[in-house]
Amino acid sequence: MQVKWTQDLSVDVKEIDAQHKELLRRISGLDSAMKQGRAREEIFPLLEFLEEYAVIHFRTEEVYMIKYRYPRYQLHKAKHEWFAEEFAAIRKGLEKEGATPEVIVRSNNLLITWFCSHIRTTDAALGAFLKPKIVKL
Ligand SMILES: [Fe+2]
């Protein structure tokens, strides 16, 4: 599956878009590393970076939500928490069994399918809420 940021994924908030671009770039790197069966030494740093960056990114969105009193904050935050749990489970699977087809499918489902759909729906709704409130995006 192609993982690339395209204009239709824009949520109209510059900082959030920039982080989404970087996340998708890293997800793409991890996806190819796993599919090419590259060594654990290569896969694990990618995974660690991604996990850390995802936390930073979610925090950025949540700070916007708090600052502008976003009414769906709790719901959106719960989705981020779910992502973090699923990510940790995938990492454990990788540590235990390596990049098996099952782990790759689960990882793709979360990082590509879930994440892109989260951007298009949940983050897009946040962007639409923030846009009129932030003078300079
Ligand atoms: Fe989000």
In tens digits, what is the pLDDT along the chain, a chain of 137 residues? 568 899 999 999 999 999 999 999 999 988 888 888 887 888 888 889 999 999 999 999 999 999 999 999 999 999 999 999 999 999 999 889 988 889 888 998 999 999 999 999 999 999 999 999 987 54
H-helix or E-strand spanning residue 29: helix 14-35
- Distance, CA of 84 to CA of 59 (rounded, Å): 12
- Residue 39 Cα to ligand 1 middle (Å): 31
What pLDDT was estimated at residue 100? 87
Q: Set out the domains of the chain in order of their start, with CATH numbers.
A: 12-130 (1.20.120.50)
The amino acid sitting at 124 is A
- Residue 73 Cα to ligand 1 middle (Å): 10
- Residue 54 Cα to ligand 1 middle (Å): 10
The amino acid sitting at 135 is V
Report the predicted TM-score, pTM, of the whole model to 2 decimal places. Answer: 0.90
- Residue 57 Cα to ligand 1 middle (Å): 8
What pLDDT was estimated at residue 136? 57
- Distance, CA of 126 to CA of 11 (rounded, Å): 8
- Distance, CA of 72 to CA of 86 (rounded, Å): 22
What pLDDT was estimated at residue 91? 92
What pLDDT was estimated at residue 1? 58
Helix 73-97 with 40-67: angle, nearest 10 deg: 170
**Structure token digits, residue 98:** 């390596």
What pLDDT was estimated at residue 77? 98
